[in-house]
Amino acid sequence: MVRPESLPQAVERLKRGGTAVLIVDNTREPYGVIMQAARDVTASSVNLWATEFRGVICVAIGEKTANRLSLPPMPGRTSGADSPEFLVSVEARRGVSTGISAPDRMATLHILADESATETDIVSPGHIFPVLVRNSGVLGRASEAEGAHDLVRIATGADAAAYCHILNVEGLLAGSSELVSISTSHDIPIVYLSDLVHYRMENELFVHVVSEGVVPTDHGPFRVLLYKNELDGLVHPVLIKGEMDDNTPVLARIHSQCLTGDVFHSWRCDCGDQLSGALTAIREHGSGVIIYLRQEGRGIGLPNKVRAYALQDRGKDTVDANLELGFDADHRSFVAAAQIFRDLGIKKLRLMTNNAQKIAEMFDFGLDVVERIALPTPPRNENLGYLRTKKDRLGHLLDLKHD
């Protein structure tokens, strides 16, 4: 799955203190960054990046480093799962002049990479732009900061990765062919973000079972496993009926928690009806799996979900309500589900879903969705607008015939 010329060569070069070109290839128009472990950046590197690659020099740091240096978020930054978490710009407190020169910026990067440095060693604002990377890395947000940080961590174990967007002579993000040309002319290995995601999915397992038992239900008994995600601490219940083998596609549902729909049977959404439909289908089939992901309100949490309800009552649809609260239209991640399937030995799915994006993500994480099984639910006057928004704005595969 990983291109032979991609990840191993880049990791080896980074181990030796060199640079790599990371191509972000999960977008409609791929773009790239030049990157290096922050501790290995030289003044010559900074000068080359500034003059030939032309982008802003940033440094991706982990939560441990951000906390140790007491770096707050950049004021007014854009929020959302797809937005980089910029922290305040910084400068080394000592050993620099204006902070803008190549040696000065190198010194600042070295301070950020120094595990003994504290908040007393930096000042703000400055000419280096830190970006916070969560522990999940590219498995939580697949973009350049997370990619650079993951690569440096894999290659060197360090917690700070310097990177610079590569612009062409017109000042636009360089495209794939230009990035390949730059890689060739400077003898810099290329690594693709998609390869890094697949590498981590195939080589790391960050979920594990913390308890298990049997739950009798209206749909018969289910074995229940509680999986803890080590990246965020969340515990996800998994209901299993029957036996499974490696060669037979498994009837499965990835269900995001919805307290109001699943427990209180709210008519605002179709979540409870979908969960009930999945349980019924598994009972009738005789086997199957339901992964119940703890990501209430499409990932924004129960308090914000109820705030979104209030906005909807004032005329916003479910997408615009999320956006007004500062979240993405869909703030969820299905990485944990893919990891749970992997731990269960499941490789092929008959996935019960109306969400095309969920299918695409399972494919991205190396699972084979051999069949999509629709979960039709009867529209009600109370949720018809919600369902239309899911179909028209979120791409859900729904048939909304309604009297």
Closest-CA residue to 191 (of 232, 161, 170, 219): 161
| Contact (CB, 8 A) for 47 and 120 | no
Q: Which of 13, 268, 330, 350 is catalytic?
A: 330
Complete edge-to-edge strand list for the sheet that includes strand 235-241: 207-217, 220-229, 235-241, 288-293, 250-256, 348-352, 368-373
Q: Which pair of structure tokens corresponds to residue 4?
A: 């032979």
The CA–CA distances, whole Å, from 28 to 24, 31, 169, 176, 382 equal 10, 10, 21, 11, 36
Q: Are strands 207-217 and 220-229 parallel, antiparallel or unpaired?
A: antiparallel
Looking at this protein, which amino acid is placed at residue 389?
A: T
Q: Which pair of structure tokens corresponds to residue 221?
A: 């008994």
Q: Which pair of structure tokens corresponds to residue 123?
A: 């000042």
Q: Which pair of structure tokens corresponds to residue 338?
A: 């893919």
E strands present in 93-205: 122-133, 160-166, 190-192
Per-position DSSP letters for 267-335, written without gaps between them: SS-SHHHHHHHHHHHHHHHS-EEEEEE--HHHHT-HHHHHHHHHHHHTT--HHHHHHHTT--S-----H
Q: Which of 262, 332, 392, 399 is catalytic?
A: 332
Asked if 332 is an active-site residue, the reply is yes
Please compute, for residue 22, the number of CA atoms within 13 A of its CA located in the half-sphere on the CB side.
32
372: enclosing H helix or E strand:
strand 368-373
348: enclosing H helix or E strand:
strand 348-352
E strands present in 96-245: 122-133, 160-166, 190-192, 207-217, 220-229, 235-241
Asked if 368 is an active-site residue, the reply is no
Catalytic residues: 330, 332
